A and B are shown apart, each in its own frame.
Chain A
């Protein structure tokens, strides 16, 4: 994985000292909160319901055991012994003291991490496929391109004050595991008929209060022009994006209002202008970065056989491991969704354990999934039983990947100052309900996503079943949505009808699941059945 060079480290170290000074001046009263707020947000420090919250960037979700150990140490030393992995492949700490912020950033910098651009109207942490470099179906490892874009977008002077926040995802397979078309810019690395690599640009997607699926504006940008094309796409947005209304300020609104064709025309015009300006980094820089993402030394001749005599182990293997490009290996998913647990939360002890297991069994690498789980990307099949045994002992062995118990949930009203309703208790009750009624296995793949407000951090628009918490005259109320997908078959979920209270929404989810079990045909997932039969049977069952 990528390692900082002297410039990366110097930039991050300088930012730590700069923020330490800004924090000191705030505590001494030389900066007001109005002056300080944009400075702390540029360093990922929010003020949430109960305390300051620090969001730490994990570029494209990749980290090594040294970094995971540090995340655990920070949870122990500065927080309350746990952290929360987010839907942007980051980690958040909920109980940070302002006076500790500089020390935390210095600790992060010591392992080549930071919290820069995890807030504010800038280009945020770039996300990617959590199976990158391991997936059998990828054209190429997308992370070098994500890293190049990370370097381009870090401290980019022209794009530090965009009309609104800006999110980019990079993938390199037709299977979309990064919700690529629900980003401001989604890039898919593709290979053309001449066997050349290029970047397909999808611009103007997003969730939030106005969900939109990004249209493709250019199906093949040569890789040696990818950064320039991204610059052109951002420039048009920076020039014409609305700054008068934050609810209409995202690029999706601009693309929608201009029309994809006109927006594309302007981007192409800007791109032609920029081609002569030397925006693109030398191709050698991409080659240098690519050198950090060489495959680890996979062993040849490994057996593909597994001892499946332990049924619990066999179930975990079936549900939580993914085919790998190297024979004898798999990618193993560590579920952070125990029944009744808080989705995405991990204790410091669990983080230390995951780091040790990555060192022992996965070439020292971990990934954070946008679905709030952790991946060990390169595990020998022969090591799976030992790995599972260690995970089980630590409460990390839940065999529930992509099931109804594998719920995405934002922090909601339990932590977030923007939320209107609590998300986590709903997730807990749903996972408990389905663990108890035994329907999880029969339901198969069923992606359930919960947001505590219209900002949609819990991706409810993209859930096969989505839940949106709203404030109804001071009382929590939950809308049910059906039919969303963030994958390559992307679609936006639709609301079923009137909302439910906390107990009612759990019943409603089970009712919708029962409709699927009753109506499904051979091989259909919940989403397939919904698309075939439509909303009506679900509405009849829910509202009769």
Chain B
């Protein structure tokens, strides 16, 4: 599957395309295979997201998991600062990234 991601124009936060909006949480992302370029153009023009691009992903326990470690780090936050990640209380999150 393909996910569309970018950074919020104002805050720079990592965001994921949910089908009709952007979310901070990768588990909200939807498969955009075949439509990624059109959505990226439209959303960038709408100034909601900065430099959107599509990535490869797969389903992991029913939820999208980016294929490449770089995108998984983006989805979570810095692995060395669990207090700053989106899931600071999840003890399994390290294995999800690596």
Contact = CB atoms under 8 A, between A and B. Distances in A.
B51 interface: yes
Contacts of B79: 414, 422, 425
Interface in B47-90: 47, 50-51, 67-70, 73-74, 77-81, 84
Quick one: which of A97, A419, A428 has the most chain B CB within 10 A? A97
24 contacts: A27-B10, A27-B47, A29-B47, A33-B51, A47-B51, A49-B70, A50-B12, A50-B13, A50-B14, A50-B77, A51-B7, A94-B78, A95-B12, A97-B10, A97-B11, A97-B12, A98-B9, A98-B10, A98-B12, A414-B81, A422-B79, A424-B78, A474-B68, A474-B69
Contact of A52 (B12, B69, B74, B78): B12
A475 interface: yes
| Interface of B (DSSP majority class) | loop
B11 A49 contact: no
B44 interface: yes
A475 B67 CA distance: 11
B93 to A, nearest CB: 14
Contacts of B44: 33
Contacts of B84: 80, 95
Interface in A17-57: 26-27, 29, 33, 47, 49-52
Contact of B11 (A98, A422, A428): A98
Interface in A469-525: 471, 474-476
A414 B7 contact: no
A425 B80 contact: yes
A223 B74 CA distance: 49
A109 to B, nearest CB: 22
Contact of B12 (A33, A96, A420, A425): A96
A414 B73 contact: yes
Interface size class of A (residues with CB under 8 A): 20 to 34
A153 to B, nearest CB: 29
A476 B69 contact: yes
Contacts of A99: 10-11
| Interface of A (DSSP majority class) | mixed
Nearest to A36: B50
A212 interface: no
A33 B50 contact: yes
Nearest to A30: B47
A80 B73 CA distance: 18
A413 interface: yes
Interface string A393-430: 00000000000000000000111000110101100100
A425 B79 CA distance: 8
A98 B12 CA distance: 7
Contacts of A49: 14, 70, 73-74
A47 B6 CA distance: 11
Contact of A47 (B7, B70, B78, B80): B7
B13 A51 contact: yes
Contacts of B14: 49-51
